[in-house]
Chain A
Amino acid sequence: MVIKCPFCGPRADVEFVYGGAAGLTCPPDDAGDTAMTDYLYRRENPIGPHRELWVHRHGCGIWIEVERNTLNHVITRTGPVGETR
């Protein structure tokens, strides 16, 4: 894959490290165990478009958000975290 880093431009996949699904927010401590374990463990795991985090480890070192199709790896959008929606 080629991932277009919003800061460095298109780069080979080997420069990046995956960080899992984007948009998960840690619930407050008093939200209860269900909310917490949902956040920790439950994943939509879709076939198709998936918003996810990658870090440009061997580049600028910045975390970015990528929208990528998990079936064919077509990347539709990349940008700074929280700005691809």
Chain B
Amino acid sequence: MRYSFFSLARNALAGHSLWPPAWRPAKPKTGYDVIIIGGGGHGLGAAYYLAKRHGIKNIAVLERGWIGGGNTARNTTIVRSNYFLTPNSNFYEHSLRLWEGLTEELNFNLMFSQRGVVNLCHSQAEIESFVRRYNSNRQNGVDGELLNRDAVRRMIPALDMSEDHRFPVLGAVIQRRGGTARHDAVAWGYARAADALGVDIIQNCEVTGIRTQAGAITGVETTQGDISAEKVGIAVAGHTSQLAAMAGVTLPIETHLLQAMVSEPVKPFLNSVVSSGTHHVYVSQTDKGELVIGGGLDGYNSYSRRGMYSRIEDITAAAAELFPRIRSLRLMRKWSGAVDMTMDGSPIIAKLPIDGLYLDGGWCYGGFKATPAAAWCLAHTIANDAPHDLNRAFSLERFRTGHLLNERGQGNRPGLH
């Protein structure tokens, strides 16, 4: 059933008893052309694009728990494409363009709102560094502007603009086309659209082994039985190393903890996404009214999803440096996600050294905004057994040849990316 105001109204009159499932509950068949492991935004999106763009019909998405329950559920929903390195900005710009049409394409309101992503600058050196990055973006066809103090003050009235601030705001850059989206909806929207194209979405189906023969994939072992497949794609943020290890591949990835929190809901306070490198914090406000606040990694390998409390103190203090008025608000909920940090801070969307096995992983902090393009590129790579130009640089081989995409220049220290 197509979603629209009219279908909503029609169903309202029928007591909402006629809505079909957004996606069918499915049980695994004995085999598929393509199996995607991981029912997050990336995996579901890849299945959708495989069916939609590449004409592959016999596809399953296997999800260990409930779809959209991994990092799709735990991010801070920011979308932007203002990366410095050309392969990154090209990829994320492609993603942003897909975002711009995705609600319509999926007929599911992803509440994608281009409220602008602002990077505050607290020193002349920081302005210069952002100008450098944004000039490069502009040259690559990515939008971006420099804001002076007055423009920042007008745009973000809640910001502490006092000149005697310990680190006064001297200016900012903004990507107006950046913004936020409703994270859960991305998984559901792709699931519904993929399901409509015949993709089996199988929940509570944990992959326990990857079967290969003579260096080629033959299928997977799961908690719901063995399933054969000609091609298998892995998109399991937070467990990428484990899945790759099932196929005997050791990846250039460390898994770290990233925490975030929301305040109690309040009336509109902040319209754009505001980020400060000096304070290591970013803040936005959801449509429901909660302030979403995030910061840096905990900084050590972990799968616990139980972050250290001191990081919450750091992030909170940093947010209040920017917005002193939020001190009387309350912290409602905090959570942590396990993020797969690659050794250069950029992702991997590539064939693995086993025929028919493909990886989409190592997203560091960037996985949510990448969702459409990552899914799009993974689908392309699986369908063609070769990367698209957009993800050619995101190979695994780069960690052999040295063609790293070191966006932050921090080297093989994942905790610093």
Contacts and interface: CB of A to CB of B under 8 A. Distances in A.
A is bound by B: yes
B300 A45 contact: no
B308 A45 contact: no
Contact of A1 (B253, B308, B412): B308
A29 interface: no
Nearest to A69: B304
Given A1-B308, A18-B415, A43 B254 contact: yes
Given A18-B300, A20-B413, A41-B343, A13 B308 contact: yes
B381 interface: no
Given A42-B250, A42-B251, A43-B250, A72 B310 contact: no
B99 to A, nearest CB: 30
Interface in B97-130: none
Q: Secondary structure at chain A's binding surface: helix, strand, loop or mixed? A: mixed
A18 to B, nearest CB: 4
B254 A20 contact: yes
B300 A42 contact: no
Nearest to B299: A18
Contacts of A17: 299
A70 interface: yes
B303 interface: yes
Contacts of B415: 18, 20
Contacts of A46: 241
A47 interface: yes
Contact of B412 (A14, A34, A41, A54): A41
Contact of A71 (B304, B308, B402): B304
Given A34-B400, A47-B242, A41 B304 contact: no
A52 B255 contact: no
B28 interface: no
A41 B399 contact: yes
A4 B306 CA distance: 20
B301 interface: yes
Interface string A9-42: 0001110011011000000000001100100111
Nearest to A14: B310
- Assign chain A's interface to a size class: 20 to 34
Contacts of B413: 20
A56 interface: no
Contact of A70 (B250, B302, B400): B302
B265 interface: no
B289 interface: no
Contact of A44 (B250, B303, B306, B310): B250
A33 B397 CA distance: 12
The 9 closest A-B pairs by CB, nearest first: A41-B252, A45-B241, A18-B300, A41-B399, A41-B343, A14-B310, A42-B250, A18-B299, A47-B303
5 contacts: A14-B308, A40-B399, A43-B252, A70-B255, A73-B302
Interface of A: 1, 12-14, 17-18, 20-21, 33-34, 37, 40-47, 50, 52, 54, 68, 70-73
Given A40-B343, A45-B241, A73-B304, 18 more contacts: A21-B254, A21-B301, A41-B399, A41-B412, A42-B250, A42-B251, A43-B241, A43-B250, A44-B250, A45-B255, A47-B242, A54-B300, A68-B300, A70-B301, A70-B304, A71-B303, A71-B304, A73-B306
